[in-house]
Structure 1
Amino acid sequence: MTNKLQFKVDLIRGPIFQSLLFFAIPLFFSNVFQQLYNTVDTMIVGHVLGDLSLAAIGSCAAIYDLLIGFALGIGNGLAIVTARSYGAQDEELLKKSVAASIVIGLVTSLVLTVGAEIILMPLLKMLDTPPEILAEAFSYISIITRFTLVMFAYNLCAGLLRAIGNSFMPLIFLILSSCLNIGLDIFFIAQLNMGVGGAAIATVIAQGISVALCLIYILKKTPALIPQSRHFKIGREIYAEMVGQGLSMGFMGSIVAAGSVVLQYGINNLGTLIIAGHTAARKLFMFFNMPFSAMAMAISTFVSQNRGADQRGRILKAMRCAVIYDFVMAALVTVILGLFAKDLVQLISGSQEAVVLNNGAMYLQVVGPFYAVLGVLLETRFALQGLGAKMIPLVSSVIELAGKVVFAFLFIPKFAYLAVIFCEPVIWCLMTAQLIYAFVTHPYIHWLAPKLKTS
């Protein structure tokens, strides 16, 4: 290819673990600042507005995750095709994939926005959102959903840059917009008394800045990602591939989030203080999950590019490195949470209530060791997607959804918050077993193929 990329990591020829790590580090910090959008909202709302407003944001967190999961999933799914064409050094196909991504993204965002306007309030009521926080919850999430396009546009732009090996510049743009988000949160909530709606407006504005900065950089520095008018001509083959890959990852993300919506239904029946404690704990859970999700995203691009370059050996070595990384990081996280979980919950929530602090801390301390399982789960699923598998990751998401339905309707009514704590670790173990088997028997990998034939 003729374009000159800056801040690019060579995932096709470079040292495997070093390349993965250098590519994952900006992704990790991108995840950190992405979480700041929500965590700063939570901290300021909890400290300034109190436990009820914190519970209002928490009660609609699963719906927010549903939108994020679908938008992020489609963006990453579309970028996989771009990464594969980049690995194959096919610049024409790369530009066509970018054009198709834009078209698919616009249509998807419009459908999500209209759909959210119709079902949002009925969904909050269906989830048994406590009446005393229903209005606040709706005021927050309705603003977010009306700007789904902004959310999707950033995820797509960042995904396309990562597809060609540049995970650094999306981080820079995200840092700038996250700092803006913090300032706007303080101004809108603490100074203008706009309540939880001010937190949502701050998030949308900050995300919009990220999109603008990404687009400017792409236009000036990455000509390989700028399609011409001929590239927008709809071709059945590439659109079928990209719609299939994008919707597969989008539905995977939304099915996972739908499971969280079901689980939230069970949590909402446990009272506002339990909701507040769980909200703070989940924010911390997402922070400590970032080293694992960053490596999984790096694996996705690594596998996509090396699949395009037909380098199976590099893929297998990368997966081994990633598993070792998972267990080392999980041990570190477990120690930190064992020592400081309650202090961290208090820092995030601003609460002095024992119910909030004790339940939030217990959740984190139980989940800690299972980060190793979650890391393997994420990396295996993303690797399968990088190989072009569409249905297998969806099956794992269905397992997660089914498991959360069982816990929400059978175990939470009987064991209360204890069932919430153990719900995901149990499900992760089942999902990981299914995904590992699918990976090692994949036609391109076929680790077990000789053994299966002779057994």
Structure 2
Amino acid sequence: MAKTLDLTNGPIARKLLLFALPLLGASLIQQLYTTVDILFVSNYLGTGASAAVGASVLLNSALVNLFTGISIGAGVVIAQAFGRKEEVQLSKSIHTSMMLGLIGGVLLTIIGEFSGSAFLNAVKTPASIFQDALDYVQVFFLGLTFMLVFNMAAGVMRALGNSQTPMLIQLVCGIIHVVTNFLFIKYMSNGILAVAWSSVLSQVLSAIIAVYYLLHDGVMSIPKLAVDRPLMREIIRIGLPAGLQGVVVTLSNVFVQYFINGFDVVAIAAFTAYYRIELLFYMPLVALGQAMMTFTGQNVGARLYGRVKSGLRTTLIFGVGYSLVLAAVLLYFGRETFGVFYTDPAVIDMGVTIIWISFPFYFFYVFLEVFADTLRGGGLSDVPMYIVLFNQCLLRTVILFGFMQLAHDIRLLVAVYPITWGTAGAMLYWYYRKGTWMMRPPV
């Protein structure tokens, strides 16, 4: 295990940054070739094809988010075993996780293949794009097993402190995906299937490379693949709440979009650009949270609770400092930033209004992300789920309804975001301060 990073000793700030930067790089790579996908579909295949792909996004995201949560649970269990230096338990955790990835992928593929048509009918997919959307969904789910195996393998590597290799695999397969996207669209008669098969190919390659790496590095052995039931229950106990949180938050965003759509086209366009710009905040903070989750897992496993607290303080300083500096830069260059996306002065004006309400308070989100991931790293996943769902789904929706009754004002809609970031962060901080979550017995 040459590239593992032991986070239980050494300089905290340096190790957290070394671990977090490849996580950020992986997120940027994923975002870039997702954007390329959109560009290929919209520019080469037209609006109908783009709509057909878009019709399936919610189903794809919901199922992938669910199993991404399971991989989070696996990562925590593996990180804690690594921190305790329990080689036998570590090996069992890794092999159980990989088997769960394989079994879960096969099950979700079957579910997706049989539920695709029903889902597209349920969301009232127009008849004109229904068959194209169904074709895309059915091919997409053929690659889902490979996607989940890669996600689990990447989770294993990160839990052992190796965040570089998953990023490099994503980079290589992302380039292959872009190239095959172009070639398949050019030479296949059905453009939708071309895009779908290109995605499947990149998923297959990423899974093969990741599994080969684990085998070659001695982390995994095919004969040892088996499900240890106590470990499986622990992985699901930690991972399922995180997965359900991702699914429900994804679905709840539909309600927010409902309110946005109640304004004019200018507001909708401004929010479309805002969500792209917001990624400059969101992705680095998610990377910091993921780094803190692994850091916590390893150090809770080693019973180094003081080091967990020091790591948390360091991560919060990084996150808050980054958020405040970036907010200042983007607010100063607000018009130029939105000008990258639109030339319409009305859209730019609306965009600047949005960021002046949101970005100065984005540091609230740091507390939400970092405290939630710290608790998960300690093996506690249900409480962060309840807190995040209460604030991001229920409270946010209630406040939105109330604000929109007071006045149909875009500024009130935007204000809901920092309010619920703040309330969620405060509740997570309160639970973190109780301290009892760190004393859970090992698996």
Partner in structure 2 of residue 165 of structure 1: 161
Task: Give yes or no for the alignment of 1:426 onto 2:422.
Answer: no
Query: What's 2:363 paired with?
Result: 372
> Could you list the per-position Cα deviations for residues 333-378 of structure 1 after superposition, in whole angstroms to 9, with x for gaps in the alignment?
3244335566666756xx7677776666655564333432222211
Within 5 Å, give how 1:48-447 maps onto structure 2.
48=44, 61-120=57-116, 122-123=118-119, 127=123, 140-141=136-137, 143-189=139-185, 195=191, 198-221=194-217, 223-226=218-221, 228-229=223-224, 232=226, 234-264=227-257, 266=259, 278-338=271-331, 363=354, 366-399=357-390, 400-406=392-398, 415=408, 421-443=414-436
CA distance in structure 2 between the aligned counterparts of 1:374 and 1:65, rounded to whole angstroms: 22
> Distance between the aligned counterparts of 1:395 and 1:402, measured in 2?
11
1:380 partner letter: F
Gaps of 5+ in 1: 447-455
| 3-state SS of 1:383 partner | helix
Equivalent in 15, 21, 32 of residue 19 of structure 1 = 15
Q: Give how far 1:61 is off.
A: 4.3
Is the contact between residue 86 and residue 305 of structure 1 (CA under 8 Å) also seen in structure 2? yes
Which amino acid is 2:360 matched to? P
The CA distance in 2 between the partners of 1:250 and 1:195, in whole Å, is: 32
Which residue identity is paired with 1:162?
R
> Displacement of 1:45 after TM fit?
3.9
State the match for 2:39 in structure 1. 43
Cα distance 1:70–1:264, how it changes in 2: closer, same or farther (>3 A)? farther
Aligned amino acid, residue 247 of structure 2:
S
Distance 1:423 1:443, change over 3 A: same
**Residue 135 of structure 1: how far off its partner (Å):** 6.4
Q: Which residue identity does 1:392 align to in structure 2? A: V
Decide which moves more: 117-126 or 92-101: 117-126
Q: TM-score, normalised by structure 1?
A: 0.82
Alpha-carbon distance in 2 for matches of 1:124, 1:429 = 36
Give the equivalent residue in structure 2 for 1:28. 24
Return 171-180 or 268-277, whichever deviates more. Answer: 268-277
**Relative to 1, partners in 2 of residues 1:194 and 1:329: Cα closer, same or farther, differing over 3 Å?**
farther
For residue 70 of structure 1, report the CA deviation from its aligned partner.
1.7
What is the CA deviation profile of residues 389-418 of structure 1, one whole-angstrom value per residue up to 9, with x for unaligned ones? 132112023212223544676667974866
Q: Is the 8 A contact 1:289 1:371 kept in 2?
A: no
Q: What CA deviation, in whole Å up to 9, does each residue of 1:310-348 have, x standing for no partner?
A: 101110011111111111111233244335566666756
Mark the CA change 1:422 to 1:292 in structure 2 (over 3 Å): closer, same or farther.
same
Deviations 1:231-253 (A, max 9, x none): 62x54422221221222222222
User: Which one is further off, 69-78 or 321-330?
Assistant: 69-78
Match for 2:371: what amino acid?
Answer: T
What's the offset of the Cα at 1:164? 0.9
Could you tell me which runs of 5 or more consecutive residues in structure 2 were left unpaired when the two chains were aligned. none
**What SS does the aligned partner of 2:3 have?**
coil
**Does structure 2 retain, via aligned residues, the 8 Å contact 1:300–1:385?**
yes
Q: Return closer, same or farther for 1:135/1:173 CA change in 2, 3 Å cut-off.
A: same
Equivalent residue letter for 2:239: G
In structure 2, the partner of 1:449 is none
- What is the aligned-residue RMSD (CA, Å)? 3.6
1:310 aligns to what SS in structure 2? coil
Q: Tell me, in whole angstroms, the C-alpha distance in 2 between the residues paired with 1:363 and 1:190.
A: 40
- CA contact 2:293–2:377 (8 Å) conserved in 1: yes
Stretch deviating more after TM superposition (184-193 or 324-333): 184-193
**Aligned residues with identical type, % of pairs:** 27
SS at match of 2:219: helix
Cα–Cα, structure 1 residues 318 and 372, in superposed 2: closer, same or farther, change >3 Å? same
CA distance in 1: counterparts of 2:329 and 2:211, whole angstroms: 38
Shift of 1:292: 0.7
Residues 136 and 278 of structure 1: is their aligned pair in 2 closer, same or farther, counting only changes over 3 Å? Answer: farther
The SS at the match of 2:162 is coil
Deviations 1:61-107 (A, max 9, x none): 44443233222211121111011101111111111112221232233
CA shift for structure 1 position 208: 2.4
Query: Hey, what's the Cα distance between the residues in 1 that align with 2:327 and 2:401?
Result: 29
Checking the alignment, whether the CA contact within 8 Å between 1:260 and 1:404 is kept in structure 2 is no
Find the aligned partners of 1:421 and 1:164 in 2 and give their Cα distance.
39
| Secondary structure class of the residue paired with 1:224 | coil
Q: 1:267 to 1:11 in 2, by over 3 A?
A: same
**Worse overlay, 210-219 or 395-404:** 395-404
Deviations 1:116-160 (Å, cap 9, x if unpaired)?
A: 345545545655667877666655555434432222122111110
Cα distance in 2, alignment partners of residues 320 and 113 from structure 1: 42
CA distance in 1, matches of 2:349, 2:48: 18
> With structure 2 as the length reference, what TM-score do the two structures score?
0.84
Contact 2:96 2:228 in 1 (8 A): no
Distance 1:420 1:123 in 2: 30
